[in-house]
Amino acid sequence: MSSQLTPFHSQPVFLLGFGGVGRALARQLIAARELHLARRHLRLEVVGIADSNNIVFEPTGLDDATLHSLIAQKDVGQKMSAPAIQQGLTPLEAITHLPPNSIVVDTTATDHIVPALLAAKVAGHAVVLANKLPVAGDLAWWDTITPSRARWETTCGSAMPVISTLTTLLDAGDEVSKIEGSLSGTLAYLAAQLEADKPFGDAVREAKRLGYTEPDPRQDLGGRDAGRKALILARMLGYRIGMDDVSIESLYPASMDNLSVDEFLREVDSLNEQMAQRAAALTTGGKKLRYAAVVQDGKCELKLLGADPNTKLGAIQASDSIVVFTSKHFSSNPLAVSGRGAGQEVTAMGVLGDIVSLAIG
């Protein structure tokens, strides 16, 4: 008897960014090859990788040995080195050399990559984003990137199915009237510490020591990253707004912006009394302290608030993220998506799911 190999679809993939998430994605992609072949008759071919230094580009696909080598190089802080290195090639130029119907994946944290993404869309390629900036920036970027053949699941809640859940509700004609969310693990941790009567300064320093904050904790305390996530959800509801329209409560005053990180970490104790008073006022009657986003009536707001412990926002554990959708069909019992909302491996898993979703059409 003769045997035939099962035909499979070869999908070109171009990776923009090869930091922690990008490398985790490459490892997961290699590990899932047999799974993709068995479940989807699919093989994902990485045709290029771009980082801040150079680009590795091979239109027929980089083999797994080369991918492992590139991952290992970056893991120890080396520059990417491979026969397929394209000296002087920019991401924007690389887009013009991609095979037809490629998937361009952005795991960077910069808006400098936006021209390459826009060019990819114009050329008919699909786009997957872990980077929030392209869809939380200029509305023209949103209008070009998101209408078709685009996924941005991990921009809001890592691999939690927040974006896909909202997409399903909207595609089914449900009327979403309100979205509430605890969208920052760092701010959720700090809210829990304040609720437990821990001095704010001690809580901030401990969060930094544990690696919960950015090297400069003010990047978290200012609420802008959570604000970008909320803005993305608001735009999905049709709100034609930008970051300047999002009301964000910062947990430190603007007068502390000019301090060095070390100075800020010393001076943050000056906020202890006012933060303790604010926490006490918001948690009267047994309410739970949350730093939450509220998207409703054309507005997008992020602030500390007191949540009824019997609500889904109030019942969530401090270590988890949650997004709650109130709609026509989920009114008395709103629909909630909750779980681990951060981490490189989890984010990479969500990105890989988005890639497969686009590849299988």
The residues carrying an active-site annotation are 229
Query: For 53-138, where are the alpha helices, taking DSSP H only?
Result: 64-75, 91-95, 114-122, 133-136
| Single-letter amino acid code for the residue at 234 | A
- DSSP element (H, E) containing 307: strand 299-307
Among candidate residues 184, 135, 194, the one with its CA nearest the CA of residue 157 = 184
What are the phi and psi torsion angles at 282 (to 5°)?
-80, -20
Among candidate residues 287, 289, 335, the one with its CA nearest the CA of residue 312 = 335
**From residue 3, how far is each of 6, 38, 220 by CA, in Å?**
9, 17, 58
In this structure, what DSSP letter does residue 158 have?
T
Query: For 96-223, where are the alpha helices, taking DSSP H only?
Result: 114-122, 133-136, 139-145, 162-171, 185-195, 200-209, 218-221
Is there a contact between 263 and 207 (Cβ–Cβ < 8 Å)? no
296 three-state secondary structure: strand
In this structure, what DSSP letter does residue 71 have?
H
Residue whose entry in the numeric block shows the structure tokens 């009657």:
285
Among candidate residues 101, 134, 153, the one with its CA nearest the CA of residue 16 = 134
Q: Give CA–CA dist 111/122, Å, rounded.
A: 18
Is there a contact between 301 and 293 (Cβ–Cβ < 8 Å)? yes
Q: Which two tokens stand for residue 108?
A: 């960077």
Q: Which two tokens stand for residue 1?
A: 């008897």
Q: Give CA–CA dist 136/156, Å, rounded.
A: 11
Q: Give CA–CA dist 203/217, Å, rounded.
A: 11
Is there a contact between 182 and 313 (Cβ–Cβ < 8 Å)? yes
